[in-house]
Amino acid sequence: MGQMDLVETFQNLRDKSQLHDAATAGAVRIELTEFRFNPAGRSPDRSCDALHAQSRQKGYTSGQIRLAVVRTTLTQKAMASGVQFDKPIDVATRELVDVTDVRPERGGAAAVKYTWRWEPMKMADAIGYRPAAPQEATARFHRSNGGWVVKDKGVK
């Protein structure tokens, strides 16, 4: 499997879709390197040392092992926008558009139907995020001594 095959395979994995999306948006660069090594020999690269040691412990002493190492780096575009590894990226916030209906429910509760949308932040442009059209949701409230309390905001 050559470099292009590894890239294609990696980018098509479902559980890596967020990383693929970030790479497509130009925020992250994916570097794939394939190493072939014999467990009885030396580790081919420092990044492979732990896996090389494991292969020896499991008793693999002959034959070739193929290992693909994936490294991700932030692009200049991402760094200029304030992206940092291991930190969540805020690309949009929820914004209330309109309250369309309020219905009383049993026990002094109320259901509030509303429309909301994603309001893009600065980072949205950097990664090419385009928010969906406004959406509808229904929040449920109940009365308490301190006023109305949200039981279910209607969106996740």
| pTM for this model (two decimals) | 0.48
Same domain for 11 and 75? yes
Determine, yes or no, domain membership for 107: yes
Q: Residue holding tokens 């309390």?
A: 149
Give me the pLDDT at residue 136, please.
92
pLDDT tens, 134-145?
Answer: 999 999 998 888
Question: In angstroms, how far apart are the furthest CA atoms of the chain?
Answer: 74
Share of the chain above pLDDT 90, in %: 15
Determine, yes or no, domain membership for 125: yes
Average pLDDT of the chain, as a whole number = 76
pLDDT tens, 94-120?
Answer: 899 999 999 998 888 999 999 999 988
Rg for the chain, CA atoms, rounded: 25
pLDDT tens, 14-23?
Answer: 455 666 667 7
Same domain for 17 and 54? yes
Range of the domain at 29: 3-80
Q: Closest by alpha carbon to 124, among 94, 90, 73, 96?
A: 90
Q: What is the 3-state secondary structure of 86-100?
A: CCCCCCEEEEEEEEE
Same domain for 18 and 60? yes
